Chain A
Amino acid sequence: MAQPLVKKDDDRDDEEYSPFLGIEKGAVLQEARVFNDPQLDPRRCSQVITKLLYLLNQGETFTKIEATEVFFAVTKLFQSRDIGLRRMVYLMIKELSPSADEVIIVTSSLMKDMTSKTDMYRANAIRVLCRITDGTLLTQIERYLKQAIVDKNPVVASAALVSGIHLLETTPEIVKRWSNEVQEAVQSRAALVQFHALALLHQIRQNDRLAVSKLVTSLTRGTVRSPLAQCLLIRYTTQVIREAATTQTGDRPFYDFLESCLRHKAEMVIFEAARAITELNGVTNRELTPAITVLQLFLSSSKPVLRFAAVRTLNKVAMTHPMAVTNCNIDMESLISDQNRSIATLAITTLLKTGNESSVDRLMKQITNFMSDIADEFKIVVVEAIRSLCLKFPLKYRSLMNFLSNILREEGGFEYKKAIVDSIVILIRDIPDAKENGLLHLCEFIEDCEFTYLSTQILHFLGTEGPKTSDPSKYIRYIYNRVHLENATVRAAAVSTLAKFGAMVDALKPRVFVLLRRCLYDGDDEVRDRATLYLNTVGSDGEVIETDKVVKDFLFGSLDIPLANIETSLKNYEPAEQPFDINSVPKEVKTQPLAEKKAPGKKPAGLGAPPSGPPSTVDAYEKLLSSIPEFSDFGKLFKSSAPVELTEAETEYAVNVVKHIFDRHVVFQYNCTNTIPEQLLENVTVIVDASEAEEFAEVASKPLRSLPYDSPGQIFGAFEKPEGVPAVGKFSNMLRFIVKEVDPTTGDVEDDGVEDEYQLEDLEVVAADYVMKVGVSNFRNAWESIGPDFERVDEYGLGPRESLAEAVSAVISLLGMQPCEGTEVVANNSRSHTCLLSGVFIGNVKVLVRLQFGIDGPKEVAMKLAVRSEDDNVSDMIHEIVASG
């Protein structure tokens, strides 16, 4: 007798006991037939529903037919008055999410429950009905929902309010009618009712700033009962602060309220307020201090969640206000050994941001112990923090670089290794002393690197930086080893790098040539092709002779054509006698797919009839302009601007103008449209007053004979200007014409016309019109290849600005140049920013600009402008643009 019992226990240990062991959908669906019994057994029915819910929860799905059957069976259970069973029925209906025609079956039962005396029925029926209902049914039950919102029972009120929040997304017009009731519920004594009412009221009014502001004002003075509602109020308050900040100055409104929340009894609220303060736009140190103090207390809490929340927030603060966080450094250091690795990582990275030069070595020691037992994603965070630390304290590069090279040798995934390599590359670029050391670390790394991508990147980088070092020959061995030991992709990259050494370092050329010749026997086409190409072009049979500059530029210079453009051009190229001409590829970066190509295109071909509509591409512009005899001797079109509207939208006559810039001329192309069906305009001219543009002299104009309704026409005006000078000026324009009445039904035109004038807006030619947006693929290379000969550097104060981003975009549009490497985007809250621009100045002079912005004091933006170009006049001119702009 004892034997089987023991055995049973064993079974339990081996195979865990579960009431759902061996459960099967088919069997449960069979069991669900008990729902149809005339004498319902509530307990058994509940059990079956639990089984059905279990199946669904495990990811089992019911077919449409099965679901419908179960649904109909479940609706029968409304007959039972068992409360427990009814709860399960509600749950089941929500899980089945019935279709519209099925919903009708349960609507009446649910509506009955909604008006029941039992609170639990009312609350749940509301939630179920609102979940499954559509708009039409909602109008029927709206009355009950409004009542429920102000129900004495908090559970019922909350159910109605929460349902309202969900319904607001689908049927906002109905829910918005409930605001009186919701307003009343905000005053409720029940904590959670207030929370839900506040959430709903805010969502109803979120587009009405004034209403939100009023709501916040009244509640910050009143009493808010639950911590949840208080958190919500803090969020809404910060929203109001954010929107008010643009108009008000001096003391920040509601700051006192946020500060008072730091003394709330619930930690949740304290934290929400502290975080809100740290995220205020342009928060001052004085405002930060109390928030930092409470977060510092949280750092030593026994609760991991609290420590995590605090350290994560402080970490963010450290990015913008490192000094404010330094007080927490001691608490932070003890967190490095925190059990929770997320907390430890955040602590480390915060310390790296706030640490001073003297603490670097100690920190690195602590981190080294810690790196081995965290996940890759955390390691990447640490590596990035170390990179920025190194840039901050360049003198410490030795220990930081050592650290990076050590972790580079350890195990790790691709993303992690890439982060390390990127960091070393950046350090080499920015800290000259670190170059040789760093390059050797990279060389060692590629000796044993499993990632092709990283190997090729490093080889390319070696080719650029290696030849400039004091002893380039020591890298050759590492590079040539790749040719022996790696896959074809890496071998090809290594061949290119070798060739680069050969071309740049004349002394090495003979030795490199020997190595390259060996590559001619490689098994891979690409490797052989590259070797052949380099052997033949770098040339001189491997003698110690300087390589021709043209060859260098051809082989290793950067391709100043956007890859996307060359790809399109190559696709369009059809095999023909004429070889593909790389000069025909537009150089301008396309900002929008539909934007015009503004680069000098192919030579104007043929003198076809001018197109009827306003032409929009440069090719077409050029064709159009060259077809007009007056302009034919202006030479090559440099740039055409985007159309500038000279009239308001929906006026009688719509006019916009395109500025065409030539070496010695400017042509304005006025695109006019007559929007009045009853009028025909004849002899249309634009009278241009150039009195505010002294350097310009009108040389020609081309009026329009007639301008019928809705068929656009062009008027041209040409001005001469000094050659190569970016002359600027303001032109006022007046449209002059003869109006003739037209009968719109017959199209008959009256013979007599009246002379009339129409004032257009002023037009300006600005310096940016003389700069063409042309991107470069590698700004640093381009910057260095232009060289410092004509570099001009100066500093400017830009005065108070709304934000750093606003200042950056203002300068970019002033210069009209192409932002490179995504530097036009300013990180949120950052206090400084570097922006790289490139372009071509009139006369085909390449210009590169490096802008360094910094915020100085309250919103004062200062800027350092460094220009390099191929002509010192142009460099000066860029400065003049900024100085006068």
Chain B
Amino acid sequence: MDCCPSVKNILLLDSEGKRVAVKYFSDEWPTNNSKLAFEKALFAKTLRTNARMEAEIVMFQDNIVVYKFVQDLHFFVTGGDHENELLLAAVLQGFFDAVTLLLRNSVDKREALENLDLIFLCLDEIVDQGIILETDPSVIAGKVAIHSMDGAAPLAEQTISQALATAREHLTRTLLT
């Protein structure tokens, strides 16, 4: 209670409960099997709820889980039983919106897997070992999107794909600002 607010895990599952990207910050689930069991049970418990408009919330195994669904993606953020629910919801919203920005509004499983590097970086920028780093989606996406070449390399030396990548990043950045 007196300590810093902390997040126990952030999960991104697909519409069958399979992992797209997950990140655990608590040793409450020491093995991969315990993690999978948690995901499976949580997925089953939340499957039939309607979390497409507003983020939903559930008490689950003495934890608070806030979650939100879009297309075939299920976003979850778990915190301790005494955590401020709204604070967890802010983390969830930050994650959700940042992913929406990074995937340029086409948020579905396929797009997420194709840009899995961005999702991983996004998770890395939101929470560091349980401590909230940032919840503002545009800041998170901004940090993830610096994905271009080092400024020193002139454009002419880039391969076509690199040029495309650079262009994409420029586009994202303009979108974000």
Contact = CB atoms under 8 A, between A and B. Distances in A.
Given A43-B161, A87-B121, A275-B84, A305 B4 contact: no
A267 B88 CA distance: 12
B161 A342 contact: no
A199 B32 contact: no
A90 to B, nearest CB: 8
Contacts of B128: 127, 159, 162-163, 166
Contact of B148 (A84, A166, A203, A272): A84
B116 interface: yes
B109 A304 contact: no
A302 B135 CA distance: 22
B17 interface: no
Interface string B45-89: 000011000111111000000100000000000000000111111
Interface in B130-150: 131-135, 143, 146-150
A3 interface: no
B172 interface: no
A22 interface: no
A271 interface: yes
A56 to B, nearest CB: 10
Interface in A699-740: none
B117 A46 contact: yes
Q: Which of A120, A159, A232, A304 counts the most B-chain CB atoms under 10 A from its CB?
A: A304
A165 interface: yes
Contacts of A302: 54
B50 A339 contact: yes
A613 interface: no
A703 B21 CA distance: 79
Interface in A39-83: 42-43, 46-47, 49-50, 53-54, 57-59, 61, 81-83
Given A18-B110, A57-B19, A59-B36, A342 B58 contact: yes
Q: Which of A18, A42, A239 counts the most B-chain CB atoms under 10 A from its CB?
A: A18
A50 B131 contact: no
Contacts, number: 152
A228 B90 CA distance: 10
Contacts of B19: 57-59
A231 B84 contact: yes
Contacts of A305: 54-57, 66, 85-86, 88-89
Interface string B105-135: 0000110011011001100100011011111
A159 B87 CA distance: 20
A228 B131 contact: no
A165 B113 contact: no
Given A50-B117, A87-B121, A162-B128, A82 B84 contact: no
A332 B150 CA distance: 58
A54 B116 contact: yes
Interface residues of B, number: 54
Contacts of A57: 19, 21-22, 120
Given A84-B148, A91-B121, A127-B128, A232 B133 contact: no
A234 B21 CA distance: 34
A304 B88 CA distance: 13
A43 B86 contact: no
Contacts of A88: 117, 121
Given A53-B120, A239-B2, A271-B85, A83 B56 contact: no
A589 to B, nearest CB: 31
Given A43-B161, A239-B2, A305-B56, A87 B85 contact: no
Given A50-B116, A57-B22, A165 B86 contact: no
A268 B87 contact: yes
Interface residues of A, number: 65
Nearest to B130: A166
B131 A162 contact: yes
Nearest to B1: A235
B150 A83 contact: yes
Nearest to B109: A16
A61 B35 CA distance: 14
B156 interface: no
A320 B31 CA distance: 40
Interface string A279-316: 00000000000000000000000111110110010000
Contact of B165 (A43, A131, A272): A43
A808 B12 CA distance: 50
B36 to A, nearest CB: 7
A820 interface: no
B84 A271 contact: yes
A203 B4 CA distance: 9
Contacts of B133: 158, 162, 192
A339 B49 contact: yes
A304 B54 contact: yes
Contacts of B161: 43
B153 interface: yes
B152 interface: yes
A231 B90 CA distance: 13
B149 A82 contact: yes
A425 to B, nearest CB: 27
A272 B87 CA distance: 9
Contacts of A18: 109-110, 113
A151 to B, nearest CB: 15
Interface string A125-168: 00100010000000000000000000000010011001101100
A303 B93 CA distance: 13
Contacts of A342: 57-59
A49 B131 CA distance: 25
A82 B149 CA distance: 5
Contacts of A231: 5, 84, 87
A885 B124 CA distance: 62
Given A166-B129, A304-B56, A268 B147 contact: no
16 contacts: A50-B120, A53-B116, A57-B22, A120-B143, A120-B146, A131-B129, A166-B131, A203-B3, A228-B132, A228-B135, A235-B3, A268-B90, A271-B86, A302-B54, A309-B85, A340-B58
Given A159-B128, A268-B87, A304-B54, 9 more contacts: A43-B162, A54-B116, A81-B152, A166-B129, A192-B133, A232-B4, A235-B1, A308-B85, A342-B59
Interface of B: 1-5, 19, 21-22, 32, 35-36, 49-50, 54-59, 66, 84-90, 109-110, 113-114, 116-117, 120-121, 124, 128-129, 131-135, 143, 146-150, 152-153, 161-162, 165
